[in-house]
Amino acid sequence: MKIIIHGGFFSESDQSHEVKTAKQDSLKGIAEKAFEYLKTHSAFEAVAYAVSLLEDDELYNAGTGSQIQGDGIIRMSAAIIDGETEKMSGVINIENVKNPILVAKALIGEDDRVLGGNGAKKYADEHGFENHSTEIPKRRKEYEEKLKNGGKGTVGCVAIDKDGKLAAATSTGGKGFEIPGRISDSATVAGNYANSFCAVSCTGVGEDIVSNATAAKIVTRVTDGLTLEEAFSKTFNELKAIDGFAGAIAIDREGNLFHQDSHPTMVFADFDGQNFEVFK
């Protein structure tokens, strides 16, 4: 059993040492809680749980603390994929729910598994998800002052459970100030993908990740026989060719972990029950 989570990127120029320390402590705590949960739950259930904890933490751009779009409204996206069944479900541009990832998880049993906008919110309302504002004063101030820092902050989790099953989950509050209706990578196979060989969650500029098909490429290459490191190297070299901005976390079916970013520093933490690794 292993788990790895990410919380977007950290910029030394835009954020303080206190914020960096807070994120390190937060990621470590969430990774530990998620690993304990993984002991008695499947990888699919555990990644949803981990991402819900990240969504609840105002340090990250997902759930509570999400960025505000160009028209002053918060719209969030999230997706989850079960590596065993290779079924993915998600919500795109959903408003006023506390945990988009849990709505995405609820959709896994539906025939129509990816919903957007009003349809996603209607489904959430009908399935017991309470109306909830995820806005915080800091984001409103940033919006009003037209600040552009901190916009690359998607969160995600990848896990392998005791039965060797893999899953990935990803959630985002967007990049901030975007054109309403913009669709990120998070609820696509470019940003969140898994099968029985590998699971990947991405963060960064959604347009770059979609153009590069980052998560799908990594998983496909591992499936075809490349090691995780080889798959990442090839995929990130292709990302570099388009000057793409992305980071990714992954686990393969042997329990190997890997992470890489094109523009340091992606914030992440992983835990195997004994050892932590946290971004520096």
- Torsion on CA atoms 183, 76, 151, 219, rounded to nearest 10: -60
Consult the annotation and say whether 205 binds a ligand.
yes
Consult the annotation and say whether 3 binds a ligand.
no
Consult the annotation and say whether 184 binds a ligand.
yes
Consult the annotation and say whether 183 binds a ligand.
yes
Element holding 248 (H helix, E strand): strand 246-252
Question: Has 154 been annotated as catalytic?
Answer: yes
Consult the annotation and say whether 211 binds a ligand.
no
The DSSP letter of residue 187 is T
Q: Which tokens sit at 253?
A: 């079916």
Residue from 64, 154, 172, 235 carrying the catalytic annotation: 154
- Distance, in Å, from the CA atom of 221 to the CA atom of 232, rounded to the nearest integer, reads 9
Consult the annotation and say whether 89 binds a ligand.
no
Consult the annotation and say whether 185 binds a ligand.
yes
Long-range Cβ contacts of 252-257 (<8 Å, 24+ apart):
252/197, 252/198, 252/222, 252/227, 252/228, 253/160, 253/164, 253/166, 253/196, 253/197, 253/198, 255/2, 255/160, 256/227, 256/228, 257/2, 257/4, 257/228
Catalytic residues: 154
List residues forming the annotated binding site.
182-185, 203-206
List residues forming the annotated binding site for substrate.
182-185, 203-206
